[in-house]
Amino acid sequence: MFRLSKMSDYAVVVLSELGRDGTVDKRSATDLAAATGVAEPTVAKVLKLLGAAGLVTSQRGAQGGYRIARPLSRTPIADVIVAIEGPIALAACVDGATGGCEAEACCPVRGRWDPVNSAIRRALTDITLADMQCPAWATPMPQARMAEPRVTLAVAE
């Protein structure tokens, strides 16, 4: 199965919350953790990676916090994935890379992953964080995601 890491998923969640409703207010990692249900240390790590990639800006100090660097509508999912995972590459030999596979010298499909990889990159570039936003009526409350399930036991007499 091909699957992105949880960190990439968390990055999309954190950025979506940070840019929700087009706000440009600074938000703390603590606030973002509470709003998203993602653990604060994880939010801090995600924000650090997103900052290094230029997707968020930060300011230290009492009036500090994080801001999204550009609107959700101008932030492709591909940028988020690259910030967290690194370059999008389905196989070791995409984009002419060498030395990543023991069968590369005799591989019958060497270089043929490039069109597949390019198609996936294009698809991820065409989808923005704004496209990922849930309609207001479908947005779950963070408390509902974090609440423990309740079990009621009936005692028979």
Task: Give pLDDT, residue 110.
Answer: 78
Taking only the tens of pLDDT, the chain with its 157 residues reads 678 999 999 999 999 999 987 777 899 999 999 999 999 999 999 999 999 999 999 999 888 899 999 999 999 999 999 999 999 888 878 777 777 787 877 888 877 888 998 999 999 999 999 999 876 545 454 444 444 444 444 444 4
**Cα–Cα distance, 43 to 29 (Å, whole number):** 6
Residue 129, Cβ density class (10 Å: 0-12 exposed, 13-18 middle, ≥19 buried): buried
The reply to whether 157 falls in a domain is no
- Chain centroid to Cα 140, Å, comes to 18
CATH code where residue 93 lies = 1.10.10.10
Q: What is the pTM of this model?
A: 0.78
The reply to whether 91 falls in a domain is yes
Q: How many Cβ atoms are within 10 Å of 67's Cβ, its own excluded?
A: 15
The reply to whether 130 falls in a domain is yes
Look at the chain and report how many structural domains it folds into.
1
The reply to whether 99 falls in a domain is yes
31's CB contacts (< 8 A; 6+ apart) are 65
Strand ranges inside 31-101, DSSP E: 56-59, 65-68
| Structural domain for 49, as ranges | 6-146
Task: Give pLDDT, residue 146.
Answer: 43
CA distances from 36 to 22, 93, 118, 153 (A): 17, 37, 32, 31
